[in-house]
Structure 1
Amino acid sequence: MINFNGTIQDNNTILNANNRGFAYGDALFETIKTSYGKLLFWEDHYFRLMASMRILRMEIPMNFNMEFLESEINKTLEAKGLTSSSARVKLTVYRNEGGLYLPETNNISFIIDAKPLPNDFYLISENAYEVDLFKDYYISPSLLSTLKTNNKSLNVVGSIFAKENGLENCLTLNTNKNVVEALNGNVFIVKGNHIKTPPLSDGCLKGIMRKQLLDIIKDIPEYTLEESSISAFELQKADEIFLTNTIVGIQPITKYRKKKFLNIVSKALIQKLNVKMRLG
């Protein structure tokens, strides 16, 4: 069951060949973690979605406020029996069908789906997590590359590459050969007490968890934070590398090529992240 424009219905009755999200990737989505009906970092998700819709020139309905969408997400959670556990919610917004590359309308529809998650809080995994660079294709840094759209061919092909090579993930590069992000999240590197992450101008996703970590790190006096380009050479010199997204929270990388990494800073940050989650 899914929520389609406010109606709970079977998910096999929605998609057709003229759906612009399917035909042209003319869609945006937000992946939201919920805990016992609470939408984590909902305000940040909402404002990112609104900004992204404006960039793609989608018509934002008058009723598309925070309260309306939150109630629709909760309606979906209730229909799927997920109000008393943690869940992964996907909110997709797409331009209504009509036209070819040039749409006939900028009006939109939305779909909300939810699936259960095993953990209520963010946990640091102690499992091996090896990554390498994905160099078959490059991200072109622009405002569009920072949006969470349905155009994810690089991420799909990169994920297949990672599986074929026995990797847990890959780090992507932009056309300037700088490290941008992972296939499913933002990247941070740690050297001593210095923490560094690529700037949005390098083409990385404007991640919600990235924003939470930036806010947390800025309030810790023993760490210095830098948003600037990361070269592949810096990965070998780092003490720690970790990835972030809203579902996992923080995922430490244990190995990149021949270099193995610690997770001391990751563990310290995830404790503060869980505090922020409870208070937010």
Structure 2
Amino acid sequence: MSYVLFNNEIEKASKTGVSYSDRGFQYGDGLFETMISQNGTIRFLDDHIDRIKRGLKELQINFPSEFQDKDFIYDAYKTLKKKNEIEGDCRIKLMIWRKEGGLYTPNNSNYYTLLSIQPFVKADSKKCLTVDYAESIKVPLTPVSFCKSLSSMTYTFAGIEKKTRELDDLILINYDGYLAETISGNLFWIKDKVIYTPKVAVGCVSGIARKNIVAHLEQKGYKVRKVFARKAELLEADTVMTTNVTGVTMIKEIGEKQYKVVDAWKKVFEQAYE
């Protein structure tokens, strides 16, 4: 039996059904954050809260003030971890969506909240990805592209295509032909010791790991460029990788092009998670 925090009350997950008029269910009218706890610490917590808060402002949904309080979040996390009998690190998901009312046009700014956790199993650190470019979908630019929406059809389409093509991941392009991101992570590539990543203005998620990796690299003196880039630039890269809050994964092949897997670069990126 699993437990969640639904509207600040601990409940059995099976009891938190939504009504047919729920706006998260009807329209995907809300946002979420996925966080990782490691050794009892929720990694990059301030950045996660800041991002969802900014996204809710764009959607004109009120921000629940209790989630501005780190003590409240940690108390909820510890309670859920105990109730769910989880040992070790956790994957934590915070969902906030608008209450019922209206059709496409909402008539309120009130919210529901749901905090859930599950064990976090770190991916195989030695795994390298075989990927290609998505053909079925492109990344749109919207006022909330920078955060994670409950309406995630772009990534669902890409996930279906990835499965059909039997690939590990896909690189998504925006409607102007610029490189954007992978299905569940941000994109980085390295050419002649200069590190590149797409600008958030292309429509990619403003990744929390991306933010902290860039800050770490710049602090260490590496050259980092946020760019508008097309496939041709990636063809010239030496090394390519994808990042998210769960870690850094090297890409060994994009289509027919193979790339160097450089463990030293991976370790430099991973230092940002420490």
Normalising by the residue count of structure 2, what TM-score does the alignment of the two structures yield?
Answer: 0.92
Structure 1 match to 2:238: 239
Aligned partners of 2:242, 2:128: CA distance in 1, in Å? 14
Aligned partners of 1:46, 1:137: CA distance in 2, in Å? 29
Q: Does 1:250 align with 2:253?
A: no
SS state at 2:50 partner:
helix
Structure 2 match to 1:137: 137
Q: Does 1:148 align with 2:145?
A: no
Q: Deviations over 1:119-143 (max 9, x none)?
A: 4xxx773224111111222222233
The answer to whether the Cα contact below 8 Å between 1:26 and 1:150 also exists between their aligned partners in 2 is yes
The answer to whether the Cα contact below 8 Å between 1:124 and 1:267 also exists between their aligned partners in 2 is no
Count matched residues. 269
Moved over 6 A (4+): none
Aligned partners of 1:76, 1:89: CA distance in 2, in Å? 10
Among 6, 9, 14, the residue aligned to 1:7: 9
Q: Does 1:80 align with 2:79?
A: no
The answer to whether the Cα contact below 8 Å between 1:46 and 1:66 also exists between their aligned partners in 2 is no
Among 102, 106, 124, the residue aligned to 2:105: 102
Amino acid at match of 2:164: E
Structure 1 match to 2:258: 260
Aligned partners of 1:233, 1:149: CA distance in 2, in Å? 30
Q: Deviations over 1:4-47 (max 9, x none)?
A: 11222122222232221111010110000012331111111111
Aligned partners of 1:94, 1:163: CA distance in 2, in Å? 29
| Unmatched runs of 5 consecutive residues or more in structure 1 | none
Q: What is the aligned-residue identity percentage?
A: 25
The answer to whether the Cα contact below 8 Å between 1:138 and 1:173 also exists between their aligned partners in 2 is yes
The answer to whether the Cα contact below 8 Å between 2:134 and 2:158 also exists between their aligned partners in 1 is yes
| Unmatched runs of 5 consecutive residues or more in structure 2 | none
Structure 2 match to 1:198: 198
Aligned-pair CA distance for 1:69: 2.9
Shift of the 33–176 alpha-carbon distance from structure 1 to 2, 3 Å rule, reads same
Q: State how 1:158-177 maps to structure 2 within 5 Å.
A: 158-177=158-177
**Coordinate RMSD, CA, aligned:** 1.7
Aligned-pair CA distance for 1:220: 2.3
The answer to whether the Cα contact below 8 Å between 2:133 and 2:255 also exists between their aligned partners in 1 is no
Aligned-pair CA distance for 1:100: 1.1
Amino acid at match of 1:103: P
Amino acid at match of 2:212: Q
SS state at 1:144 partner:
coil
Aligned partners of 1:104, 1:220: CA distance in 2, in Å? 49
